[in-house]
Structure 1
C-alpha cells in the first residue's frame, strides 16, 4: 500500500484548504495501460489561481476530481516519476513533465505518443488535449535537468505567452500601434512582452506602484506605469492579465475608440470577468490553429527557439524560493491568493 496526500480547496472559497490522506493499492491493482506517478516538483503562480477562479467555466476542476462535495483539486505543472506501470514503454523511474494535481500521487491511463503519452482516463476525454499530454524527459529536446525549476515555473506560462503574442502578430495587432499589458510584473505578462519585443509595437506595462521598479528593470517594456496613470491615446490593444474591472473601465474611458482590442488572459484579481468588451484568450485554440498551420514539428521548433531565448534571461529576473511538502504547499497557495507573492521571487515545491 502507498500513502497518498491531496490538497483540496473549497471551490466557492479558495482560501479554505484541507490536506486529505488515503491509501493506494499495490501495483497489481493497476488496470491495463495505467501508470502510477509520484509527483516530484511543481511550480505555483497566479496562473494556478486562474484555474480555480474559472474552474467551472473551462472545466479545470474535472482534471483531478475531488471526493468531497464542493471541493476541488487545483492543477499545477511540474515533474513526476513513474513508480508502477502496466506499460512496458513507461517503466518505473521514467520522468515526465505535464499537468499534475496538488497531490503526492495519481494514476494515469496512458496512450503512447512519439514524445510521451496522453492520459485517456474517461473523466478527461472531453478536456483540452494540451493538458492531457505528458512529455517523457528523455524524449523532450527542450529538457535540461539543470533548468527544471525554470521549466515548472515558466514553461506552461510561456506557452501561453508565446501563443498570445503569436495571436496578436497573426492578426496584425488588430491595427494597434501600442500593446498595453496589465499585471505587467506577472510571469505570463512579461513572457508575452519578451515575445513581442522587436515586432514593431510599443509595449506599455501597467502594474502596482510597488512593482514599478522591478517591472521596469526587466527591460521588456518601453514604458512602465503605475495603475491610474494616463496612457497615451493612440490605437492600442489591451492584454488584461489582472481581471480588474476598475483598470479595464479606466482604460476604456481614457482611450475610447482608440482601444481597438481588449483581451482577457489571467485573473490575478480573482474575479471572472463578464465584461462584454473583452474577449477571453484560450491558449489551446491558438495551439490547434498553429499545429494545423505549421505542423507539430514546426510548432515545436518555433516554440523551442522562443523558449531558449526566454530561459537565457529568466534566471536573472527572478530568484527561486524552494519549499517542500503539503504544508508548505498550502502556505505558498495562501500567499499567492492573498497577493503577497513578490514578483522578484518564484515558488517551487518539492513533494
Structure 2
C-alpha cells in the first residue's frame, strides 16, 4: 500500500481487529500544529495501553488510553512514544521544522494544540486531553533535552519511557522501605520496563536481592544482562526459599505466574505490584490468592508525587542523571530492528500483541 498519510485503526473491543486507513490532509485549526511522526517504538508496554484503552478509572476520571488521539465514537488510535517534526504550524512559538519527543498516535501524522509553549516544548491543550495525566501531554523539543545525544536517538523510544517507569518503581520501593522484603521477584524480567527497574535497583546501596522471573526460552538472555542477582524460569518458582520475605513486581499480567508466586509465598509475600498487562489474554485466577492484595502501579501518579515532593527541576535532573547512566548500556541490551511504512507498522503491532516480539530486539517504526 503506497499512501503518504495513514493511521492504524483498532477495534476497541477486539484488539486483533486492526487495519490501515488513509488519512486526508485537513485544514489546520487556529493555534494548532501538524507533525509528521519520524520514528516510534513498539513494545509490550503499548499492548498495556491497548488493554487499558477503554475507560477504567486509571486516570481518576473514567478515561483511558484511547482518549488521547480519538473520540469515544471512533476506532482506537494506539499511543506510542517517539519523535516527530512539525510540518505545518498555526502557532508562532512552534515553527515548522521543530523536532519533538513525546506521545503520538500509531500514524504518519498527528495534529496537536500547543499550550504553555516555550523553549523546552509545550503541553497539548486539546479538550479531550485536558483531564489526562500531564506527563503524557508534554512534548519536548529535542534541542532542549539536556540528556539527549544523537548517538542514542534510536534507544530513546525503545527505552526512555520504560526506563522512567522502572526507575519510579524502584523509587517507590525505596520510599516504602522495600515493603519489608528481602527479595524482589520481577516477573517478565526480559521486558524493557523490568530492565529499567533492575538497573535502578542495583544502583542503590541498601537493597533486597533482585530475582528475575522469565520463560525458559529467555533465561540465557536475561542472565546475560548482568542486572539480576538470580534468574529463574517460571516453572522453578517453587524452588525459591518461601521463608524469606518477598515482593512481586508483575510487568506482564501473567495470571499463572502471579498465582504461583502468591501460592508459594503466602503471607511471606509482603507486596504484589501490578505494572503491565501485555499478557492481555491471560485469564485471571478466579480464586482468592493468599498473601497481600495486588496493587496497581501508575507511573504518571508517581511522577506527580515526586514533582510535588522535590520540585519539577529536581525531579527532571534526577531522571536525567539516571537515564545518562543507563543509556550507555542500551546497545549491549538490544539490537535495533527498524521497519518502514504502514504495513510494517501493522505487522509490528500484531506481532507484539501475539507475544512474538523478541526481547533482544528494539523494534522501531519509521512511518
Q: TM class, shorter-chain normalised?
A: over 0.9
SS at match of 1:138: helix
1:80 to 2:49 alignment: no
Q: Give the corresponding residue for 1:238.
A: 248
Counterpart selection for 2:170 from 155, 165, 171: 165
Query: How far did 1:22 drift?
Result: 2.6
Q: Give the corresponding residue for 1:107.
A: 111
Query: How far did 1:148 drift?
Result: 1.4
Counterpart selection for 1:219 from 202, 223, 226: 226
**Structure 1 portions without partners, runs of 5+:** none
Query: How far did 1:268 drift?
Result: 2.2
Counterpart selection for 1:197 from 186, 197, 202: 202
Supply the distance in 2 between the matched residues of 1:11 and 1:30 (Cα, whole angstroms).
Answer: 27
Query: How far did 1:163 drift?
Result: 0.8
Deviates further, 263-272 or 214-223: 263-272
Q: Give the corresponding residue for 2:153.
A: 148
Supply the distance in 2 between the matched residues of 1:198 and 1:166 (Cα, whole angstroms).
Answer: 11
Counterparts of residues 28-47 of structure 1 (less than 5 Å): 29-47=27-45
Supply the distance in 2 between the matched residues of 1:183 and 1:147 (Cα, whole angstroms).
Answer: 25
Counterpart selection for 1:289 from 283, 292, 305: 305
Q: Give the corresponding residue for 1:9.
A: 10
Q: Is the 8 A contact 2:163 2:195 kept in 1?
A: no
Question: Which aligned runs of 4 or more in structure 1 are off by greater than 4 angstroms?
Answer: 66-69, 271-276
Query: How far did 1:31 drift?
Result: 2.8
Q: Is the 8 A contact 2:33 2:112 kept in 1?
A: yes
1:344 to 2:344 alignment: no
Q: Is the 8 A contact 1:66 1:73 kept in 2?
A: no
SS at match of 1:38: strand
Q: Could you state the TM-score of these two structures normalised by the residue count of structure 2?
A: 0.91
Q: Is the 8 A contact 1:239 1:262 kept in 2?
A: yes
Query: How far did 1:277 drift?
Result: 2.2
Counterpart selection for 1:255 from 261, 265, 275: 265
Supply the distance in 1 between the matched residues of 2:149 and 2:91 (Cα, whole angstroms).
Answer: 25
Q: Give the corresponding residue for 2:325.
A: 309
RMSD across aligned positions (CA): 1.7
Deviates further, 273-282 or 12-21: 273-282
Deviates further, 116-125 or 30-39: 30-39
Supply the distance in 2 between the matched residues of 1:41 and 1:177 (Cα, whole angstroms).
Answer: 41
SS at match of 2:235: coil
1:139 to 2:156 alignment: no
**Structure 2 portions without partners, runs of 5+:** 59-63
Supply the distance in 2 between the matched residues of 1:94 and 1:193 (Cα, whole angstroms).
Answer: 35
Q: Is the 8 A contact 2:82 2:157 kept in 1?
A: yes
Deviates further, 268-277 or 142-151: 268-277
Supply the distance in 2 between the matched residues of 1:66 and 1:144 (Cα, whole angstroms).
Answer: 36
Supply the distance in 1 between the matched residues of 2:331 and 2:175 (Cα, whole angstroms).
Answer: 29
Query: How far did 1:253 drift?
Result: 1.1
Q: Could you state the TM-score of these two structures normalised by the residue count of structure 1?
A: 0.95
